[in-house]
Structure 1
Amino acid sequence: MNRFAELLDRLSYEPRRNAKIALMREYFRTTPDPARGLALAALTGELRFRHAKPAVIRALIEARTDPVLFRLSYDYVGDLSETVALLWPAQRNAAPADALTLPEVVATLGSAGKADLPALIADFLDRLDETGRWALMKLITGSLRVGVSARLAKTAVAALGNLDPGEVEEVWHDLAPPYEPLFAWALGAADRPKQTNPVPFRAPMLSHAVDAAELARLEPGEHAAEWKWDGIRVQAVAGHDARGRHQRRLYSRTGDDISAAFPDLLEALDFDAAIDGELVVLRGGRVQSFNTLQQRLNRKAVTAKMLADHPAHIIAYDLLAEAGEDLRDLPFAARRDRLQRFVGRIGIGRITLSPLVPFSSWESLADARADPAGHGAGDDAAAIEGVMIKRLDSPYLAGRPKGHWWKWKRDPHAVDAVLMYAQRGHGKRSSFYSDYTFGVWRRGPGGDELVPVGKAYFGFTDDELRQLDRFVRTHTINRFGPVREVVHETDEGLVLEIAFEGLARSSRHKSGLAMRFPRVARIRWDKRPSDADGIEVLEALIGEA
């Protein structure tokens, strides 16, 4: 357990991607089975303990320390795992920490009943030092927050044997913790694990953002362009297993099986192929906003009313496999031709072809990007967030290879809003007020009122974060638990320029509006709160959509 705790600790302080990979690779190389496989499962979010919840941990720490002290400390530290690790009283006669192993912890937590769990966790905490307790809490809550994505952890496994990370992705869904066949393959001790899944997830190809300088180096005639739809990237895969039974799966971009949330779409996958595309809601022949799609995401059960009111649809980008043939090595132009014929042949109303955007120069594509409605998108323009640029000769490569695909998003909207509330962040930001609620004016005959319209916690530099934190601390006028209210209805307040991708109506928000991807674009030290924008600016954007 100590080695795993040390790994998490070092990863949390290491900002460099390649250094993180090196740390994980060394851990996997020198740690025996099954500990390294369980560590990999934790890093990729594949470890879950049914009864081990944050509420159990809070009850334990409040029983061992003063509850008021814990709440004050938690408010200050901002991270439950770190707070418990520091506050937990050490036991003099506890068993040595070295005797506690990661496999022992995982097996015990996985098999323990709900009533037995608090005593077991308390015993583990007694036997560990501060770093070990912190790692245990991270393991239990499932929120590691050490700057490692599932993809990065799999990349570290691939680095053990100079494998392509995409190859690890290919076999991932056929394996389960502690992944012993995977490590044996990566270390050259065994062949590649046999792929038995008839509907496997294939590592997706991703794009890079493009700018004017990058465009100047590209030749328009060597590329195709598509609309960038505001949905979620998915793979729709269908095929037959060894017994001849037809299997169907819908995967998210990260490989999560989301089939259960979209039974209406799954039923339509009556083919033998793998399609890469965008999942949207298509109602009345019109692609709906992401906010509409969001109402169907992350649901364990979908009602008949939801299926009728929010019909799922796929806009197909690419054809990765057909009738057992892997098409990923073909150039994009050839795959596109195969996709067009495939979609036309299957005749499924829930899958349509992503239209190409005609252009003769980057200037003409820029015009289409700025005005999709006037360049063929019609009523669907509100669901478009830019264009995708793809090399005609590009194979389908896993990950984010350079020089093949680019995304050119539409310029974000911007509004000048007043900072109203602030809250501490988590992890490395736990000592800073870094989460900001902001509002705009609703002006009327009865007086002007600031209405909250969103929250943002990124977009600023480290230096700007320190400036914002200082402002919050020196201009607090009220407190609500961990939330500080800052002066905002006088010209002593602070104006922030907020950039965001889109707006949608929302009954859950006081303003009636919900922002998509809001972020702090800059601090408007030059502007008074009374000069901030009114809600009519946002209403006008809704009207345009």
Structure 2
Amino acid sequence: MQRFAELLDSLAFQPARNGKLRLMTAYMRSAPDPDRGYALAALTGALDLPNAKPALLREFGVQRLGETLFVLSYDYVGDLAETLALIWEPADQAGVGHNRPPPSLAEVVETLRQASKRETPQLLERWLDGLDATGRWALLKLLTGALRVGVSARLAKQAIADLGQRDIAAVEEVWHTLEPPYQALFDWLEDRAPRPDPGAAPVFRPVMLATALEDADIGGLDPAAYRAEWKWDGIRVQLVAGPGHRRIFSRAADEATSAFPDIVEAMDFSAVLDGELLVAHRADDGALQVAPFNDLQQRLNRKQTTAKLMQDHPAHVRLYDALLIDGEDLRALPFDERRARLEAWHAARPRPRLDLSPMVPFTSWDELARLRTGTREASIEGLMLKRGDSPYVAGRPKGPWFKWKRAALTVECVLMYAQRGHGKRSSFYSDYTFGCWRRSDGGTPELVPVGKAYFGFTDEELMKLDKWVRDHTTSRFGPVREVAPGLVLEIAFDSVHRSSRHKSGVAMRFPRVHRIRWDKPAAEADALATLERMIAG
């Protein structure tokens, strides 16, 4: 456990991607089995310890400090694991607890998996007594599942691919056939066994990604070489189906099958298809109308889906590409041929909740740019450009595919509330709720919240914002500070939609701080009516 703690601590203070890769690869090379397998599971979010919930850890803190002092400490530190690790004192003040050998990572995981809910608190207290502050922090991070050390699941997979000098795509294609502690995976990486064979298992295939394209750069491309499609405002998914299995994966290989049984029902085929998950309704004339992204959010990240939710927010997948059809791997074929095969497959048997994303014919970039200007009202983010001769290659190769997104919308808002961040930002007020003026006839204008943002500013700007919040606080609500209406933030966002969940009646898509208007009076910020005029559709 102590070696895993040292790894997490080093990762938290290592900002460079390649530095993180070196740290993880070195750990995986030297740590014993099955510790390194469980470490990999923790880093990729694949470790589940059902009886060790954050509520139990909070109770530990309340028992030691009391409700008020623990809440204040947690608010100041900003991280549950770090707070509890710092305040923990062994039950045996004579120090006997520190003489116990610290548990191994495998001991923690395997013991907790077999322990009952009643046994878990005693186990945790014993282990926490036997660890130092860094070890306690790592153990608590492991239990909460929120490591927050700047490592994505893909980066951890890249580290083990580097360990075995393999391509990450080869690792990702067998990943979903394996379980922690991944002994078969390490045996293959270290040449003790052949690569695990996914066979006919419903495995994820690494997706091909596009490079962002700026308006100024498009003139250097040959329009005849590229095909254009709409970039729909949903989430990218991969549908994997065959005899006895049907699974839905996100572009990051996270499974979303259980949240979309209406899509699963339509997956009566043998293929691996690439597309966009949307919410879409049939109009009276039978035409399919794509709903705003806010409607899709009602369906995301749910373990169970009700019949009413599916009726109110019907899911739909708009297909882009075909990776495999009836067992034949099409990824090496050029895009034009894969598209023709997908069209023929779809035409042979159309399925409910699945259709093809239409191609956008064009002869020049100017013509395509004019088409792009009208995409916002149709829940379209912009355009995708794909070379007709491009094979389907995992990762983000530069040149074959581009995403040409529409320009962001902006609005000037007033800062209303601030909250401390997490991890490296736990000492700073870095999460900002902002609002616009609602002006009723003859009444006094009032600020109503319209969104929340926590990025888009530099570290230097963050320090200035934090000081401004502290200097202008008028009230506290737990960890949240209310501030006097005096600072204007220019907010950039992709779109805005109606929302019954917000007091203002609107919700922004991807809001971020675009500029801090230190010079602008709050009274001159935008009105809510300005946002309402931007609502899609």
Question: Shorter-chain TM-score: which interval?
Answer: over 0.9
- Distance 1:238-1:66 versus aligned 2 partners, 3 A rule: closer
The amino acid that maps onto 2:465 is L
Give the C-alpha shift of residue 97 in structure 1.
Answer: 6.5
Could you tell me which of 255, 276, 279 is aligned with 2:277? 279
Matches of 2:107 and 2:75, distance apart in 1: 32
Structural mapping, 1:55-134, within 5 Å: 55-90=55-90, 91=93, 92-96=95-99, 99-134=102-137
**Whole-angstrom CA distance in 1 between matches of 2:277 and 2:53:** 32
**How far off its partner does 1:96 sit?**
4.2
Q: Distance in 2 between matches of 1:261 and 1:219?
A: 41
State the alpha-carbon separation in 2 of the partners of residues 527 and 127 from structure 1.
55
Q: Distance in 2 between matches of 1:382 and 1:372?
A: 6
**Alpha-carbon distance, 1:216 to partner:** 3.6
State how 1:32-431 maps to structure 2 within 5 Å: 32-90=32-90, 91=93, 92-96=95-99, 99-240=102-243, 246-284=244-282, 285-372=288-375, 381-431=377-427
Q: Deviations over 1:159-199 (max 9, x none)?
A: 11221111111001110000011011112221100113432
Q: Secondary structure at the match of 2:534?
A: helix
Deviates more, 1:279-288 or 1:31-40: 279-288
Encode CA deviations 1:398-431: one digit per residue, 9 max, x unaligned. 1222222221111111110000111100000001
Q: 2:84 is aligned with what amino acid?
A: V
Q: CA deviation at 1:110?
A: 1.4
CA contact (8 A) 2:408 2:492 kept: yes
Q: Contact (CA 8 Å) 1:79, 1:427: kept in 2 or not? A: yes
Distance 2:53 2:45 in 1: 15
Which stretches in structure 1 are left out of the alignment for 5+ residues? Answer: 241-245, 374-380
Partner of 2:523: 530
Give the SS at the match of 1:248. Answer: strand
The amino acid of 1:527's aligned partner reads: K
- In 2: Cα distance, 1:312 partner to 1:53 partner: 32
* Contact 2:237 2:251 survives alignment (8 Å): yes
Residue 5 (structure 2) aligns with: 5
- The alpha carbon displacement at 1:312 in A equals 1.6
2:285 is matched with: none
Question: How far apart are 1:306 and its partner, in Å?
Answer: 2.3
Report the TM-score when normalising by structure 2: 0.95
CA distance in 2, matches of 1:86, 1:306: 44
Report the alpha carbon displacement of residue 112 of structure 1 after superposing the two structures with TM.
1.4
2:513 is matched with: 520
Deviations 1:26-55 (A, max 9, x none): 111111210000000000111111111111
Which amino acid in 2 is paired with 1:86?
L
Q: Secondary structure at the match of 2:383?
A: strand
Deviation string 1:76-122 (CA, Å, 9 cap, x unpaired) is: 11111111111111451115475410001111221111111111111
Question: Structure 1: how far apart are the matches of 2:490 and 2:79?
Answer: 29
Matched, 1:498 2:498: no
After superposition, give the CA deviation of every residue in 1:328-351 in whole Å (9 maximum; x if it has no partner). Answer: 111111111111111111211321
Alignment coverage as a number of residue pairs = 528
Q: Do the aligned partners of residues 97 and 432 (structure 1) sit closer, same or farther apart at CA in structure 2, a change above 3 Å counting?
A: farther
Secondary structure, counterpart of 1:390 in structure 2: strand
2:439 matched residue in structure 1: 443
Say which is worse superposed, 51-60 or 35-44, in terms of deviation.
Answer: 51-60
SS of the residue 1:94 aligns to: helix
1-side partners of 2:45 and 2:500: how far apart?
33
| CA displacement, residues 276-298 of structure 1 (integer Å, 9 cap, x when unaligned) | 00011220121111111121222
Alpha-carbon contact 2:185-2:195 (below 8 Å) kept: yes
The amino acid of 2:499's aligned partner reads S
Structure 1, residues 217-266: CA drift from partner, whole Å, max 9, x if none? 322221111111011111112212xxxxx422222222223222222221
Q: CA deviation at 1:19?
A: 1.3
Task: Give structure 1 regions of 4+ aligned residues with deviation exceeding 6 angstroms.
Answer: none
For residue 540 of structure 1, report the CA deviation from its aligned partner. 0.7
Corresponding residue of 1:28 = 28
Check if 1:457 corresponds to 2:460.
no
Give the letter for the 1:487 counterpart.
Answer: A
How far 1:66 moved relative to its partner? 4.5
SS at match of 2:163: coil
Letter in 1 for 2:450: V
Q: Is the 8 A contact 1:174 1:196 kept in 2?
A: no
Q: Give the 3 Å change call, closer, same or farther, for CA 95–76 of structure 1 in structure 2.
A: closer
Pair 1:405–1:531, CA change in 2 (3 A)? same
**Residues 301-335 of structure 1: CA deviation (Å, up to 9, x unaligned):** 22222222222211100000011111111111111
Q: Deviations over 1:44-70 (max 9, x none)?
A: 111111111111111112223354332
Matched-pair contact (CA < 8 Å) for 2:207–2:394: yes
Counterpart secondary structure, 1:257:
coil
Question: Helix, strand or coil: the match of 1:315?
Answer: strand
Give the conservation status (yes or no) of the 8 Å contact 2:336–2:388. yes
Q: Which runs of 5+ in 2 are unaligned?
A: 283-287
Q: Give the alignment's TM-score, normalised by structure 1.
A: 0.94
AA paired with 1:17?
A: R
